[in-house]
């Protein structure tokens, strides 16, 4: 089986970091978000097709430099085609059925089990679903007998939400699901296509462990906690010469002396944390600097961002090269 991973979108809710870095390359628990998504794929997947758009060249360069364990091909789009248009654009040579993954969901999903459930259900599609308190920002499914999806509403008004079970952004689809997508224009798969596929049999696959759409600063940091707690964090504990408690994931060479860490920190390559500084629940990207006696909590610091000596920065997103 092959997989299409949707890697477009501007990551607007993670600006200003996403002005420089596509959200899929933001490190979470020691590796780019995209690589946590790929980790869900069974080892026997034959090919992964990345449907790219915004900053496609950065994604392309990253996967060339850090080849995942599956053969990967990127199919860029000149204009954003939306989720459905991106799928269609990337679908040449795709398997029947295929996996469809959003690139910003950090979750525990057994894709081998899901593939088996899809075969047993015999329908055109199987969508992983997760129960949330507030379904409004998501696609929402109503379920009938055998968890067949009987209605699907993308981003409903509260009164129109048919349940609290939402599209987790992980699915198995038959090739025929691509047929109704008009080529060459932007199409929302969830709004324009999925409702029309329901008569062909679309089933829910309920997730029970954890799930997060890492599309906002709060949620990317929450996802980082979940991944660390599930032991899916990258290598390394508290860096040598530092104090505190992990988990701390270190990506490459870092310069750290006499600082206090944790919990839940990612340190990018060539980042610096000076003596007396304290860092917790944060993502510190490549080349960022936290000066002496500064405190950083619940932050995403973009590449080469700098927190000045003695400053306290809480709950902020700093763009590339920004100072606070």
Which residues of this chain interact with ligand GDD, rule CB under 6 A? Answer: 6-9, 51, 53, 77, 80-83, 86, 102-105, 138-139, 154, 166-167, 169, 190, 213, 215
What DSSP state is assigned to residue 244? E
* Cα–Cα distance measured from residue 74 to residue 85, given in angstroms and rounded to the nearest whole number: 15
Closer residue to ligand GDD (CB): 26 or 285: 26
Alpha helices in 16-74 (DSSP H): 17-20, 33-38, 56-65
Strand partners, 152: 141
With CB under 5 A as the contact rule, which of the stretches 17-25, 214-222, 257-265, 299-307 interacts with Mg ion? 214-222
Q: Does 212 bind Mg ion (CB under 5 A)?
A: no
To ligand GDD, the closest distance from the beta carbon of 76 in angstroms equals 8
Q: Does 84 bind Mg ion (CB under 5 A)?
A: no
To ligand GDD, the closest distance from the beta carbon of 133 in angstroms equals 14
Report CA-CA distances (Å) from 288 to 99, 114, 117, 221, 307.
Answer: 36, 40, 45, 17, 8
Closer residue to ligand GDD (CB): 3 or 81: 81
Closer residue to ligand GDD (CB): 153 or 313: 153
How many residues does the structure list for the chain? 324
Q: What is the largest CA-CA distance in the chain?
A: 62
Please enumerate, as own/partner, the contacts of 237-246 that have beta carbons within 8 Å and a separation of 24 or more.
238/262, 239/267, 242/273, 244/278
Residue among 77, 104, 190, 320 that touches Mg ion (CB under 5 A): 104
Closer residue to ligand GDD (CB): 130 or 264: 130
From Mg ion, ligand GDD, none, interface partner of 53 (C-beta below 5 to 8 A by class): ligand GDD
CB 126 within 8 A of CB 118: yes
To ligand GDD, the closest distance from the beta carbon of 103 in angstroms equals 4
- From the list 45, 74, 80, the residue with the least C-alpha distance to 61 is 74
Tokens of 266: 């990612």
Residue showing tokens 């979108």: 9
Q: Cα-Cα-Cα-Cα dihedral of 67, 73, 75, 76, to 10°?
A: 20
From Mg ion, ligand GDD, none, interface partner of 139 (C-beta below 5 to 8 A by class): ligand GDD
Q: Does 215 bind Mg ion (CB under 5 A)?
A: yes
Q: Known catalytic residue: 88?
A: no
Closer residue to ligand GDD (CB): 171 or 238: 171
From Mg ion, ligand GDD, none, interface partner of 239 (C-beta below 5 to 8 A by class): none
Residue among 77, 190, 212, 213 that touches Mg ion (CB under 5 A): 213
To ligand GDD, the closest distance from the beta carbon of 207 in angstroms equals 12
- Beta-carbon contacts of 110 under 8 Å, excluding residues fewer than 6 positions away, are none
- From the list 82, 54, 79, the residue with the least C-alpha distance to 191 is 82
CB 203 within 8 A of CB 125: yes
Closer residue to Mg ion (CB): 107 or 256: 107
Active site residues: 155
For Mg ion, the binding residues (CB under 5 A) are: 104, 213, 215
């Amino acid at each position: 089986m092959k997989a299409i991973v949707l890697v477009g979108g501007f990551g607007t809710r993670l600006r200003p970091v996403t002005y420089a870095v596509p959200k899929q390359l933001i490190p979470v628990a020691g590796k780019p978000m995209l690589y946590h998504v790929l980790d869900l794929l069974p080892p026997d997947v034959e090919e992964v097709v990345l449907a790219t758009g915004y900053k496609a060249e950065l994604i392309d360069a990253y996967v060339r430099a850090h080849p995942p364990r599956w053969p990967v091909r990127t199919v860029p789009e000149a204009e954003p085609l939306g989720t459905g248009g991106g799928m269609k654009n990337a679908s040449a040579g795709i398997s029947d059925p295929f996996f469809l993954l959003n690139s910003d969901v950090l979750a525990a999903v057994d894709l081998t089990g899901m593939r088996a459930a899809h075969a047993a259900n015999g329908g055109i599609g199987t969508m992983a679903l997760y129960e949330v308190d507030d379904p409004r920002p998501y696609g929402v499914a109503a379920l009938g007998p055998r968890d067949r999806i009987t209605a699907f509403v993308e981003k409903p008004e509260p009164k129109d939400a048919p349940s609290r079970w939402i599209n987790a952004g992980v699915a198995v689809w038959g090739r025929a699901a691509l047929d109704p997508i008009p080529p060459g224009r932007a199409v929302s798969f969830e709004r324009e296509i999925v409702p029309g596929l329901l008569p062909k049999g679309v089933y829910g696959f309920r997730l029970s462990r954890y799930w997060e759409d890492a599309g906002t600063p709060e949620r990317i940091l929450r996802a980082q906690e979940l991944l660390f707690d599930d032991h899916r964090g990258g290598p390394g504990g508290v860096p040598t010469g530092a104090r505190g408690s992990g988990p701390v994931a270190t990506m490459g060479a870092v310069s750290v002396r006499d600082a206090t860490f944790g919990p839940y920190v990612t340190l990018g390559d060539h980042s610096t944390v000076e003596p007396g500084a304290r860092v917790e629940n944060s993502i510190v990207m490549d080349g960022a600097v936290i000066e002496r006696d500064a405190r950083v909590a619940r932050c995403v610091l973009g590449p080469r961002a700098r927190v000045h000596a003695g400053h306290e920065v809480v709950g902020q997103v700093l763009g590339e090269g920004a100072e606070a």
